C-alpha cells in the first residue's frame, strides 16, 4: 500500500540584520505569503528531483527520522522564487522535515523541527545563522539571535506592514557573500566588529519603531541598514538602482534582503502603496507586493503537514 505525506513552509524576508546576525547581532525577519510544499510518497516508483543538494538534504533528513530515502518519491511545488534570498532553501528544509515526520508518524516539538531543518539547510548554505529557518518556522515577524539554543521571539508590529519585493535577476548564492564578508572581518576584525555592532543597534532601534507602529522611523532604519550592507560589500549596482527606484516611488525605506550579491530588495510601502511595484516593473524588474500577517502563527497552520494512507 502506498503512503503519502506533505509538509509546507513559507518564504521569508529579512527586515533588518542580515549578515551581522551571523556574528551574533540580532535580526528581525518575517514570513511572506508565498509557500513551498514537499510531497512524499512511499510504495510507488521512487523519484527524486535531479539536484544533488536536494538529494543530499533528503538523505540527511530521512536518515535522521529513520525513513529509508531509497523508497521515497519526492515532489516539490513552490511559488517562492528560488536562489533570490527569499528563503526557498529554508522553506524546503522545513517542509521536508515536516513531511518526513508526518510520514514516520512522529510528533516533533517546534524546536526539534527547527533544529533538524537547520541541519538540512546547512547542505545548501554551509553554516547558516538559522534566521531563515526561524522566520519560516514561526510565521509572522520574529526577533532572532544566534545562540545555542537560538533566542527567538515573536514581534507584533504596531501597524500592518505592506512591503514590495523585487528581484534583481542576478545569479547568486547565499554562501558567496557570507564567506566574502567573513574574510573581510578576519582581515579587519576591529573595523568590521564596529560595523556589526552598529548594524545590531539599528535592529534594536528597529524593534522599538516596529512595535510602536512608527513605520517612518522603521523605513529610515532600513535605509541606514542598506548603507551598512553596501559597506559590507554585499550590495550590487543593480540592487542599488532598484532601491533608488523604490525610494523615488515613495518607499518609506528600501534595502536588500538576504545575503545580497543580487537577489531581492524589499521596500516598505507608504499608506496607499505608492507606485513602487509599477515603477520597478517599468524598469524591467519582477516586483510584487507582499503582506506580512502580524498575527499569523505557522504552527496554527493546518497546511504545514498532512498525511494520508
Q: Is 18 in the site for ligand MEV (CB under 6 A)?
A: yes
Q: Is 140 in the site for ligand MEV (CB under 6 A)?
A: no
Q: How far apart are CA 209 and CA 271, in angstroms?
A: 16
Applying the rule CB under 6 A, the residues between 151 and 190 that interact with ligand MEV are 174, 178
Torsion angles phi and psi, residue 55, rounded to 5: -60, -45
Nearer to ligand MEV (CB atom), residue 18 or residue 298 = 18
Q: Which stretch binds ligand MEV (CB under 6 A): 16-24, 51-59, 216-224, 236-244?
A: 16-24
Contact 237, 211 (CB under 8 A): no
Nearer to ligand MEV (CB atom), residue 229 or residue 252 = 229
Q: Is 203 in the site for ligand MEV (CB under 6 A)?
A: no
Burial class (CB in 10 A: 0-12, 13-18, 19+), 153: middle
Q: Which stretch binds ligand MEV (CB under 6 A): 14-22, 62-70, 192-200, 265-273?
A: 14-22
Nearest to 166, CA basis, from 89, 230, 246: 246
The binder of ligand MEV chosen from 14, 36, 94, 101 (CB under 6 A): 14
The binder of ligand MEV chosen from 7, 11, 219, 258 (CB under 6 A): 258
Nearest to 86, CA basis, from 18, 32, 6: 32
Q: Is 259 in the site for ligand MEV (CB under 6 A)?
A: yes
Q: Is 30 in the site for ligand MEV (CB under 6 A)?
A: no
Q: Which stretch binds ligand MEV (CB under 6 A): 12-20, 37-45, 106-114, 280-288?
A: 12-20
Minimum distance from residue 190 beta carbon to ligand MEV (Å): 21
Q: 12: Cβ–Cβ under 8 A, 6 or more apart, which residues?
A: 29, 30, 31, 32, 86, 87, 90, 91, 132, 135, 136
Q: How far apart are CA 203 and CA 18, in angstroms?
A: 10
Q: How far apart are CA 198 and CA 203, in angstroms?
A: 9
26 sits in which H/E element: none
| Residue 132 annotated to the active site | yes
Question: How far is residue 150 from each of residues 63, 83, 145, 214, measured CA to CA in Å?
Answer: 24, 25, 6, 27
Minimum distance from residue 4 beta carbon to ligand MEV (Å): 31
Nearer to ligand MEV (CB atom), residue 6 or residue 174 = 174
Structure-block grid coordinates of residue 240: 542599488
In the complex, the residues that contact ligand MEV under the rule CB under 6 A are: 14, 18-19, 21-22, 85, 128-129, 131-132, 174, 178, 258-259
| Residues labelled catalytic | 132
Amino acid at each position: 500500500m502506498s503512503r503519502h505525506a506533505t509538509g509546507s513552509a513559507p518564504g521569508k524576508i529579512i527586515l533588518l540584520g542580515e549578515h551581522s546576525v551571523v556574528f551574533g547581532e540580532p535580526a528581525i525577519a518575517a514570513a511572506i505569503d508565498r509557500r513551498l510544499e514537499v510531497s512524499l510518497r512511499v510504495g510507488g516508483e521512487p523519484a527524486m528531483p535531479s539536484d544533488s543538494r536536494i538529494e543530499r538534504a533528503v538523505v540527511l533528513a530521512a536518515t535522521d527520522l529513520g525513513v529509508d530515502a531509497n523508497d521515497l518519491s519526492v515532489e516539490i511545488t513552490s511559488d517562492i522564487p528560488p536562489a533570490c534570498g527569499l528563503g526557498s532553501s529554508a522553506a524546503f528544509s522545513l517542509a521536508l522535515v515536516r513531511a518526513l515526520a508526518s510520514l514516520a508518524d512522529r510528533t516533533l516539538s517546534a524546536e526539534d523541527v527547527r533544529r533538524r531543518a537547520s541541519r538540512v539547510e546547512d547542505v545548501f548554505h554551509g553554516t547558516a545563522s538559522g534566521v531563515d529557518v526561524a522566520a519560516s518556522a514561526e510565521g509572522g515577524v520574529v526577533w532572532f539571535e544566534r545562540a545555542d539554543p537560538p533566542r527567538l521571539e515573536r514581534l507584533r508590529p504596531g501597524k500592518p506592514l505592506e512591503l514590495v519585493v523585487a528581484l534583481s535577476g542576478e545569479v547568486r548564492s547565499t554562501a558567496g557573500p557570507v564567506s566574502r564578508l567573513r574574510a573581510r572581518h578576519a582581515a579587519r576584525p576591529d573595523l568590521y566588529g564596529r560595523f556589526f555592532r552598529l548594524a545590531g543597534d539599528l535592529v534594536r532601534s528597529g524593534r522599538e519603531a516596529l512595535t510602536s507602529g512608527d513605520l517612518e522611523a522603521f523605513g529610515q532604519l532600513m535605509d541606514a541598514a542598506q548603507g551598512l550592507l553596501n559597506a559590507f560589500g554585499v550590495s550590487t549596482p543593480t540592487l542599488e538602482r532598484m532601491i533608488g527606484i523604490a525610494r523615488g516611488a515613495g518607499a518609506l525605506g528600501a534595502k536588500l534582503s538576504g545575503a545580497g550579491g543580487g537577489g531581492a530588495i524589499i521596500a516598505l510601502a507608504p499608506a496607499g502603496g505608492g507606485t513602487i511595484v509599477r515603477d520597478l516593473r517599468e524598469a524591467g524588474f519582477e516586483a510584487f507586493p507582499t503582506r506580512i500577517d502580524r498575527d499569523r502563527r505557522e504552527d496554527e497552520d493546518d497546511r504545514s503537514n498532512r498525511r494520508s494512507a
